Chains A and B, each alone.
Chain A
């Protein structure tokens, strides 16, 4: 069964950010359990809200454009490196990867926009400092009114 285009886009984002220099293949989509320490540094990819532009005129033409929010969360741990600097390195690598991915090789994706990042959260409550940061992206895509499947 054909998946919703939003789902396909989220999967394509995972593919685009897998294999980065710092986080490697340690990328999980929709992570609901804690990250294992041995899997750090790591990325989690979350599908966010999906907002149709809502113009009735667009719908009358047989398609709907929507903005899909994607959050990419980086997790790092180190007693020696400055963890927020490592997060910045990962943030850059993610950005470059998504720019290079263009429209994610999906004909219905129009563009990907970086929507900023959250404040780095650093915590010394474990055996070494742990830090996380969210990188936010918005992806505009088009789908037929009759079926948002890919």
Chain B
């Protein structure tokens, strides 16, 4: 996954490449069939990163589907789940 945001470390592209697990399982929200995209990765790789909230995300190099990080949820055991919003 590539995260792009103003506070991210690459000096020119402001992009961070992160390995992890992407999922978009079915959920029902307000009577609507939808999916809940999320990305689970090591908390460590995000530790020194500021501005993850609202950063833009491409998954698996597929640049046609863009997400925005809307939630950052560390589980306290070394992993963090990023809640994503499809753009």
Chains A and B are bound partners = yes
CB atoms of B32 and A127 under 8 A apart: no
CB atoms of A128 and B85 under 8 A apart: yes
Given A127-B24, A127-B85, do A77 and B31 touch, yes or no (CB 8 Å)? no
Partner of B31, one of A79, A128, A132: A132
CB atoms of B31 and A126 under 8 A apart: no
Q: Is B48 among interface residues, defined by CB-CB distance under 8 A?
A: no
Q: Hey, what's the 0/1 contact readout for A84-123 against B, CB within 8 Å counting as 1? A: 0000000000000000000000000000000000000101
Given A124-B85, A127-B86, do A75 and B24 touch, yes or no (CB 8 Å)? no
For A121, the chain B residues whose CB sits under 8 A away are 30
Task: Give the interface segment out of A12-20, A34-42, A139-147.
Answer: A34-42
- Give Cα distance in the complex from A5 to B29, angstroms: 34
Chain B 31-82 interface residues, beta-carbon cutoff 8 Å to A: 31-37, 68, 70
Partner of A77, one of B32, B37, B84, B87: B32
CB atoms of B86 and A79 under 8 A apart: yes
CB atoms of B28 and A34 under 8 A apart: yes
Can you name the residue of chain A whose Cβ is closest to the Cβ of B68? A79
The range of chain A's interface size is 20 to 34
Q: Is B27 among interface residues, defined by CB-CB distance under 8 A?
A: yes
The range of chain B's interface size is 10 to 19
Can you name the residue of chain A whose Cβ is closest to the Cβ of B38? A127
Distance in angstroms from A45 CB to nearest chain B CB is: 14
Looking at A77, A79, A126, A128, the one whose CB has the most chain B CB atoms below 10 A away is A126
Can you name the residue of chain A whose Cβ is closest to the Cβ of B34? A126
Can you name the residue of chain A whose Cβ is closest to the Cβ of B24? A127
- Give Cα distance in the complex from A122 to B29, angstroms: 9
CB atoms of A77 and B34 under 8 A apart: yes
Partner of A37, one of B24, B34, B37, B84: B34
- Give Cα distance in the complex from A124 to B24, angstroms: 14
CB atoms of B87 and A126 under 8 A apart: no
For B36, the chain A residues whose CB sits under 8 A away are 125-127
Residues of B at the A interface (CB closer than 8 Å) are 24, 27-37, 68, 70, 84-87
